[in-house]
C-alpha cells in the first residue's frame, strides 16, 4: 500500500511522498482504533466493561488487612461528607472484574452523598481463592467492617448490590455473610455453578473454563462436589437476614449469557426452605416454562413497570422478592441504585425530592444538596441549569425553558426513581424570568407557572403526578446585579413574583416558601455578585424549605 521510491535528486517530491505515506499510516491507525472501539462497545456495556478503570472525583483506593490470610485487599471507597450517618452501598464487581473496574453505580452514590465500597474479594472468578470460596466472604466482611469503622455509616442501612458475577457474590452474601445487612440486591445472578458450567459449554462461553480453574485441581473435569459447595442455591437461607431482591430480564439467555432459570430456581429454593408449608408462594413449573420458552406469560398479567419497562412477573414476601422485567442480561442504570430499599417506617421513611432550579441549584453547596443534611433519610434529585426560566427562551435558548424541556426532564426523573415515587417536587425558578429583557412579559411568568404546575400534577407517571409541589419564591436581587443592564429593575419584579407566586401556590394547593422576604435584608452579605448565593445563603434556603416539608410530612 505504501509508495516507496529511491529518489536522490528531487527532494521536494520525496518529501511529498513521505507525507503521503504518513497520512496513509495515520488513517490506517485511526481506522483500527475505530474498529477496535466498536468491538469493545459490542462486547461491553457500561456496567460490563472491565477495561474502564476511571473513577469519579473523591473516590479513593484503600488497602484493607485480610482476616482470611496475611494479605491486603484493595478497595475503592467514597466517604459521605454529611454530618449525619448515611447508608453504605457495598457494590460487588462482575465475574471477570476486580476492584478497579469502574462501577457505573458510583456516580449515583456520590450524587446521593452516601458511603460506598467496591471490594476486590480475590478478583476475577478464575482461580481457587475466588468464585465463592471462604476467602471471598471473609474479604467482603472485612470491607464492611472497614467502612463502618472509617466512614459515617448508618449501620441499619447497609445494602449489598451486584449484577451478573457481582449478583452471584450477592447471593453468596445472603446465604453466608456474618453481618446483618438490610438488603441484598441481585440483578441477573448466578446461583448454580454446576448448571452454569453445563450451560456455558452449550453456549461455548469462557465461563466453563473459569469454573474448572476455580473448582478442579486438574482443570480437565468438573469437580461437582466443589461446584455445589460454592453455589448459593445449595446453601441454607436464614429468616434472620435482610431481604433478598432478585431482578432478571426475561430475555436473558437469548440476549445475554445467563438463563433466567438461575434466578427463578433460586427464588423457589429460598421460599421452599423458609416457607415449606406455603407452596402457593412458589413459581409454578408452567410459569417457568412460559418464561423460558415463550418469554411472556399467558395467564399472568401485571400492571407494574420498572424503568418504563413492563414487569412480566412479580412475587414478594417478607424475606425475598422477585421481579422479571422486559430486558436482557443487564443492570438498569441508574435504576439499580434506586431499587435499594432504605429507611424503615415513619418518621424514618426515606423521602424522595425532585428539584427544578436555575444556577443557584447547580453548586455543590447549593440548596438542593444542602436539603440532604436538613431532612433525615432524604434522596434529592436536582435538575438545575444556569440561566433556566419557567417558560422563556433565555437568550433565544429553548433548553433554558423549563416548560420546553419538562417532559424529557420528568422522564429522566422517573427512570431515576425506579419503583419509588417522589414525595415532593420543589420549583426553584423565577430569578431569570425577572431579567430586563422580560420586563414587559411578567404576566406570562404567572401563566407559565400555572401551566408548569398543571403539567406536573397531570404527568403520565404517578411517580411524578402524586408528589406534593413546593414553590420557592425567587431570592432578592442585590445592588451589584442590578447595576448590570440585563438585570435593571429585577428586584422589583421578583418582589412582585413573591406575592403572585404565593397566590398561585394557594390556588393549586401547593406549599409556598417565601425566600424573598427571609433573605431581603441580608442579600448583600449572602451574595458576592447580588445574584448567586454563597454557602450560607444556600443553607438558609435549604432550612426554609426543610421546615415546610417537615411540617407537611411529619
Burial (CB < 10 A; 0-12, 13-18, 19+), residue 431, is buried
Query: Any residues with CB less than 8 A from the CB of 264 and at least 6 apart, and which?
Result: 248, 283, 288, 291, 322, 324
Measured distance between the N- and C-terminal CA atoms of the chain, rounded to whole angstroms: 76
Burial (CB < 10 A; 0-12, 13-18, 19+), residue 311, is middle
Supply the pLDDT for residue 458: 96
Q: Roughly what angle, to the nearest 10 degrees, separates helices 193-202 and 261-274? A: 160
pLDDT beyond 50 at 42: no
Q: What is the tally of helices (H) and strands (E) in the chain?
A: 19, 15
Tens digit of each residue's pLDDT (9 = 90 or more) over 250-272: 999 898 889 999 999 999 999 99
What is residue 434's DSSP assignment? Answer: G
Give the residue, 354 or 42, on which the prediction is more confident: 354
Tell me how far apart the alpha carbons of residues 140 and 88 are, in angstroms, rounded to a whole number.
13
pLDDT beyond 70 at 219: no
Could you tell me the pLDDT band of residue 303, with boundaries at 50, 70 and 90?
Answer: low
With H, G, I as helix, E, B as strand and everything else as coil, classify residue 77.
Answer: strand
Tell me how far apart the alpha carbons of residues 45 and 169 are, in angstroms, rounded to a whole number.
20
| Nearest one of 154, 198, 202, 213 to 180, comparing CA atoms | 154
- In this prediction, residues 383-387 reach a mean pLDDT of 95
With H, G, I as helix, E, B as strand and everything else as coil, classify residue 47.
Answer: coil
Relative to beta strand 153-163, strand 183-187 is parallel
Q: Which fold has domain 351-553?
A: Rossmann fold (3.40.50)
DSSP-assigned letters across all residues of 161-191: EEETHHHHHHHHHHHH-SS--SEEEEES---
Tell me how far apart the alpha carbons of residues 159 and 165 are, in angstroms, rounded to a whole number.
17
| Nearest one of 523, 514, 516 to 495, comparing CA atoms | 516
Tell me how far apart the alpha carbons of residues 168 and 18 are, in angstroms, rounded to a whole number.
56
In sequence order, what are the beta bridge partners of 183?
159, 243
Which CATH number describes the domain made up of 60-338? 3.40.50.1820
Relative to beta strand 72-78, strand 60-65 is antiparallel
The dihedral sign for the CA sequence 64, 65, 67, 68: positive
| Nearest one of 151, 130, 21, 13 to 80, comparing CA atoms | 151
Supply the pLDDT for residue 93: 95
Tell me how far apart the alpha carbons of residues 424 and 98 are, in angstroms, rounded to a whole number.
39
Give the residue, 282 or 23, on which the prediction is more confident: 282
Average pLDDT, rounded, for the chain: 86
Supply the pLDDT for residue 298: 66
Lowest mean pLDDT among 90-104, 115-129, 149-163, 206-220: 206-220
Supply the pLDDT for residue 307: 64
Tens digit of each residue's pLDDT (9 = 90 or more) over 409-429: 999 888 777 767 899 999 999
All cell numbers assigned to 89: 452501598
Give the residue, 393 or 111, on which the prediction is more confident: 393
All cell numbers assigned to 170: 450477592
Give the residue, 467 or 22, on which the prediction is more confident: 467
pLDDT beyond 50 at 326: yes
Supply the pLDDT for residue 372: 79
- In this prediction, residues 539-543 reach a mean pLDDT of 93
With H, G, I as helix, E, B as strand and everything else as coil, classify residue 223.
Answer: coil
* Residue listed under C-alpha cell 449484577: 163
Q: What percentage of residues in the chain have a pLDDT greater than 90?
A: 63
- In this prediction, residues 23-30 reach a mean pLDDT of 44
DSSP-assigned letters across all residues of 389-410: BSSS-BTTBGGGBHHHHHHHHH
Supply the pLDDT for residue 379: 82
Could you tell me the pLDDT band of residue 117, with boundaries at 50, 70 and 90?
Answer: very high
Tell me how far apart the alpha carbons of residues 524 and 478 are, in angstroms, rounded to a whole number.
6
pLDDT beyond 80 at 35: no
- In this prediction, residues 288-299 reach a mean pLDDT of 84
pLDDT beyond 50 at 400: yes
Could you tell me the pLDDT band of residue 116, with boundaries at 50, 70 and 90?
Answer: very high
Give the residue, 319 or 474, on which the prediction is more confident: 474
Supply the pLDDT for residue 280: 87
Supply the pLDDT for residue 94: 94
Amino acid at each position: 500500500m505504501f509508495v516507496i521510491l529511491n529518489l536522490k535528486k528531487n527532494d521536494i517530491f520525496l518529501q511529498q511522498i513521505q507525507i503521503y505515506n504518513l497520512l496513509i499510516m495515520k488513517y490506517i491507525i485511526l481506522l483500527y482504533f475505530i474498529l477496535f472501539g466498536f468491538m469493545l462497545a459490542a462486547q461491553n456495556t457500561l456496567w460490563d466493561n472491565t477495561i474502564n478503570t476511571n473513577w469519579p472525583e473523591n473516590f479513593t483506593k484503600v488497602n484493607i488487612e485480610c482476616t482470611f490470610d496475611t494479605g491486603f485487599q484493595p478497595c475503592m471507597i467514597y466517604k459521605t461528607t454529611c454530618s449525619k450517618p448515611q447508608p453504605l452501598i457495598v457494590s460487588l464487581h462482575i465475574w471477570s472484574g476486580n476492584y478497579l473496574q469502574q462501577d457505573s453505580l458510583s456516580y449515583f452514590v456520590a450524587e446521593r452523598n452516601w458511603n460506598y465500597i467496591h471490594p476486590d474479594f480475590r478478583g476475577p472468578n478464575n482461580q481457587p481463592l475466588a468464585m465463592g470460596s471462604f476467602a471471598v466472604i471473609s474479604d467482603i466482611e472485612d470491607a464492611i467492617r472497614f467502612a463502618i469503622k472509617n466512614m459515617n455509616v448508618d449501620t441499619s442501612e447497609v445494602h449489598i448490590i451486584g449484577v451478573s458475577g457481582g449478583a452471584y457474590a450477592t447471593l453468596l452474601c445472603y446465604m453466608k455473610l456474618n453481618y446483618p445487612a438490610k438488603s441484598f440486591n441481585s440483578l441477573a445472578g448466578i446461583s448454580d455453578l454446576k448448571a452454569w458450567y453445563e450451560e456455558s459449554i452449550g453456549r461455548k462461553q469462557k465461563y466453563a473454563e473459569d469454573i474448572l480453574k476455580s473448582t478442579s485441581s486438574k482443570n480437565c473435569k468438573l469437580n461437582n462436589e466443589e461446584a455445589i459447595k460454592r453455589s448459593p442455591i445449595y446453601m441454607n437461607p436464614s429468616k434472620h437476614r435482610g431481604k433478598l431482591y432478585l431482578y432478571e430480564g426475561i430475555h436473558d439467555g437469548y440476549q445475554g449469557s445467563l438463563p433466567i432459570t438461575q434466578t427463578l430456581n433460586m427464588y423457589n429454593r429460598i421460599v421452599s426452605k423458609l416457607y415449606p408449608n406455603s407452596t402457593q408462594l412458589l413459581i409454578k413449573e408452567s410459569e417457568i416454562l412460559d418464561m423460558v420458552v415463550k418469554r411472556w406469560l399467558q395467564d399472568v398479567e401485571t400492571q407494574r413497570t420498572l424503568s418504563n419497562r413492563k414487569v412480566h412477573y412479580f412475587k414478594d414476601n417478607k424475606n425475598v422478592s422477585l421481579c422479571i422485567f422486559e430486558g436482557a442480561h443487564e443492570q438498569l442504570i441508574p435504576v439499580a441504585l434506586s431499587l435499594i430499599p432504605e429507611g424503615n417506617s415513619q418518621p424514618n421513611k426515606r423521602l424522595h425530592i425532585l428539584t427544578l432550579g436555575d444556577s443557584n441549584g447547580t453548586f455543590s453547596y447549593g440548596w438542593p444538596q444542602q436539603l440532604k443534611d436538613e431532612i433525615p433519610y432524604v434522596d434529592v434529585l436536582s435538575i438545575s441549569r444556569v440561566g433556566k426560566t419557567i417558560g422563556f427562551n433565555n437568550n433565544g435558548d429553548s433548553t433554558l425553558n423549563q416548560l420546553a424541556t419538562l417532559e424529557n426532564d420528568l422522564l429522566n426523573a422517573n427512570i431515576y426513581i425506579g419503583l419509588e415515587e417522589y414525595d415532593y417536587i420543589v420549583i426553584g425558578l423565577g430569578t431569570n424570568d425577572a431579567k430586563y429583557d422580560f420586563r414587559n412579559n411578567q404576566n406570562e411568568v404567572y401563566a407559565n407557572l400555572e401551566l408548569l404546575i398543571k403539567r406536573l400534577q397531570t404527568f403520565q407517571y404517578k411517580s411524578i403526578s402524586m408528589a406534593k409541589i413546593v414553590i420557592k419564591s425567587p431570592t432578592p436581587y442585590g445592588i451589584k446585579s442590578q447595576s448590570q443592564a440585563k438585570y435593571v429593575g429585577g428586584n422589583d419584579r421578583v418582589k412582585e413574583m413573591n406575592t403572585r407566586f404565593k397566590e398561585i401556590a394557594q390556588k393549586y394547593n401547593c406549599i409556598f416558601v417565601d425566600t424573598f422576604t427571609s433573605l431581603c435584608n441580608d442579600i448583600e452579605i449572602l451574595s458576592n455578585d447580588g445574584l448567586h448565593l454563597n454557602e450560607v445563603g444556600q443553607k438558609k434556603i435549604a432550612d426554609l424549605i426543610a421546615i415546610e416539608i417537615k411540617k407537611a410530612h411529619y
